[in-house]
Structure 1
Amino acid sequence: MARRSELARIELPRVELQTPALVIADLHLDLDDARSCAEFTDWLAAQRGARALVILGDLFEYWLGAPHLEHAGGKAICAALARFARERGPVHVLHGNRDFLLDARFEAASGARVHPFGLRASCAGSEYLFLHGDELCIHDHAYQRLRRVIRSRPVRALARVLPRPALERAARRLRRRSVAAVAAKAPLDVEQVASVGWQWLEETGARELVVGHAHRWREERDADGRRLRVLDAWGGPRAVLAL
């Protein structure tokens, strides 16, 4: 077996989810786009039978922290999540590569629990491992280096004190560079490597790995019957997984 992964050295939180639990990913909500924000809050309000919600990262196109908590779109999203958490069940939000600045202030406003690295869960008799999914892109070395930098404590601390205009310029620059970089890379460089997922399932004892990030549905099983599922981006035909 390969050497212990970075994930194996992190003690992921573990929860129990009641069914039906809904899992979604990669909504990329732009707080300045009132229509897309309203579509999500309307969808959330309609999930009256749900008992839990797991969001696998990139809930937002980007998240600046305190400035976005004061934004009308940010307030609307947080209020909708808080209502779900009060009336139906827990909300778990993972960091994505666009909203890694979600923190305790977002938790307080939304009633959600934020998980920077991932989440383990028991649900309907199975053990799940939830991740954003960019962790599986191990051949994209430049991206993995950038990922470590932007999620580091110094960068996160700096983001908390930068003025809003500087944060917005940095976020737009990162988005432009990300789009250009992905377009220039070979498909194999950005592919999610299933063997990494199987290793993590073995290390954690989970049976099912559910991720986002790639924006297209994928399902695989290994020889031991363990399962990897990659969700469509929001709006796609397989964007919502009900457990």
Structure 2
Amino acid sequence: TSKTTTTELATTVTTESTTATTTKEATTSKTTTTELATTVTTESTTSEATTTEVARTSQTTPEVTDTATPTIGTTPMAVEGTTPKTTALTTKKITRCLGRSDFANIYDNSSYYYNYRVGVHAFCPASDKICIAQIQSNGIGYDMRRGMGLMGRAVSLAEHYISRVRAACSEWRDLKLLAFTKSGKKYLHNLEGRGLKQGWVSTVKGSCGANVPIRRWKSRVSDDMMYGVDLEWNTWY
């Protein structure tokens, strides 16, 4: 946020309210807090004291700006040392379409394998030895010790399994067939079922009972497909 913009916002806050709103905006970021606190000083001693106290706290525990204040709340504010989030997750209430007794038959455990040299993940059904052997072939170095583990579950590839899910779940269109194709020394993901097929995964949290959606994240060296609700804490992504 530029100094000019901050000054204008501070003026707006003073006009509307010099108490709660000022205090909440002061927690947005270290830079914004300083400018707002300076502006409020000329208006009210009480307001200055409150804002300054919040400013100290915000340096160690940043708060999310209240979306009820559209002037700032609609613009993501960066916390020092991180990248501002540009899009919000699409989420909904998680509804179980099928009973838990169906899980063992319909879902496969998924394993992840990480290629440290090129910075991408590949996924295979945990029981699919052919898929695992394939991603390890051709000199591609997916780590089978430090860079592997169980990741979650995907709807099995067999057509009668995904058909049952489609019949029971009205949001089945959010399910995509995750697969991988070879490109140089890595496998790249796609959601059209081309290449090594992983299984049906949800692209929206809550659809057809999915706890976590599959998402593509940009790292410092690649675009990487991962299961993750939020990777903002990870400075690599």
Give the structure-1-normalised TM-score: 0.25
Higher helix proportion (structure 1 or 2): 1
Give the structure-2-normalised TM-score: 0.25
Greater relative contact order (Cα 8 A, min sep 6): structure 1 or 2? 1
Higher strand proportion (structure 1 or 2): 2
